[in-house]
Structure 1
Amino acid sequence: MPTHRLARTALPSLALTAAALTTLAVAPPASGAPGGAPGGAPGQRATVELSADPAELDLVPLPCFPADLDVTMTNTGDQARFADTLLTADPPLTLSRDVFSSYLPATDPDQPVSVPVEVRAPRGTPPGTYEVLLELERQRVSVPVHVASPPPKGPGDNLALGEEPIASSTHGNFSACGGLDGNTDHAQWSTRTGWNDGTPAVFPDTYGVRLPEARTVEEVSVLTLDSAGSPAERFGLRDWDVQVLTDDGWHTVAEVRGNTAGLVTTRFEPTTARAVQLVVHGTNDARYSRVMELEVRGG
């Protein structure tokens, strides 16, 4: 299994004779120089601790299966300050951000400031161990990322799981991947999962999935928003078409009208398709299209 690492450059050492040491005048470091804090008083030592959680990641190379990393800066000094952490990753890994900048208050007890970072690997990434590197002044934190082979999907498996989403729009609180991530926990709606369109009271909306290769599909399941506080008869999808993309373009293979259920499964004649989508014509609140999870099955 290949291992990818960023090169490190060693610093040359300086040799001083005893005679030379007796004549040196030692000056405090300038503001911003190594050993000093940017914007702080001369001679002030760096007072920000950098950390990452978890210490290493497991990652599947699919578009909607990122690994989540929390990056934290903690001011351990007695003066408030700003700090910047730079983030890089071994290619072909990508990060949702390449810099984390924040104001860090001086409090007792120390107050950590964190930001979530998504780490992704495109389909086809060779299995192996890669690195995400965090750098803050002279601190370096390395996070190993173990990339595995994507799981095979055979007959009866959910062909949409983790694949590339299709969305006419997406509300700012959501991710287009939210309906393809395998998470059906309604308690995490809008915070970690689910798709919500971004054009209130404007229809039709579309939501679907592009398959990595043409596959035979014959069943589509739609789990719409349906929880104790947000039942499907109030907030779920009501009217939609199921469409498949073939060499001849998009074709409607099923229609659902007047729905009030949380989970709806439609079956149709087996069709070789490169993508599947819902065309939503109306919802039970007449405002937003909401999909908790979209599943596609076939041969």
Structure 2
Amino acid sequence: MKVNAEARQRLSALLRSHEDEILRRWTEISARTLRGRLTNAELQRQVREVYAALLDILEGVGDGDLTGAGGGESRGALADLSRSWARQGFTPTETANLVFTVKEVALGLSESADADQVTADFLGLSLIVDEMGLYTFETYAKAREEIIADQTEQLLELSTPVVKLWEGVVAVPLVGTLDSARAQVVMEKLLQTLVDTGSAYAIVDITGVPAVDTQVAQHILKTVVAARLMGAECIISGIRPQIAQTVVALGIEFGDIATKATLADALVHALRASGIEFAKRKVS
């Protein structure tokens, strides 16, 4: 159901004739809901932008349809509001309520003596505001999904550091579960570090991996193969007794890949393979 042009014209005139009162009450009601989480000046700005978006729908060249060709500016303003509030940690309900509050404010403002017309106009206003609120809610949800995806990617990068242990030796200490997404990040960071440092040896340490199943083993083997294609020899460290038993029981084959019990053993192996020998110093 669309609001006809005559009703939109009356609603626009009503809102403009009570603009100061509407903006004041709208801000007051929203401020009580937000409980000081937004400054009054910022809240007034946000309210005024939503008010302008509503007027644009009522007075625009379209037929009062937010999703139509004439609702571009209004959609943009509501989308900016949703993304901003999503980043600031407001709930989707709080964000949508900022829009819905105008119905409470506008109720009873009409000076017309025709009760049926007042009811019809308020219904028209409700339809438009509801559409705006739902659009705000949907845009908020998409914004939150993007934020969560970005945060997940950042956490993956932080949880998979590649460190240089010695000249020509780098290590990837893995902690926690190794899934497909994280394995891809590990592989990309390791290969980039091999290029940047020119290292000939890479240690993949799985001491912090709680369990190794067939999927985890496949991820590790793919990382080793990718490093080898870059000209680096890989060593797997952190093979605890429990993991060794699981690997044998699953029939997983690491082939000619060197495996060590600890990261220290793997580092010694890499250094010796690169021609560095160790000698114990006698303490007098």
| Relative contact order higher in (CA < 8 Å, ≥ 6 apart) | 1
More helix as a share of residues: 2
Bigger strand fraction:
1
Q: Which of the pair has more CA radius of gyration? A: 2
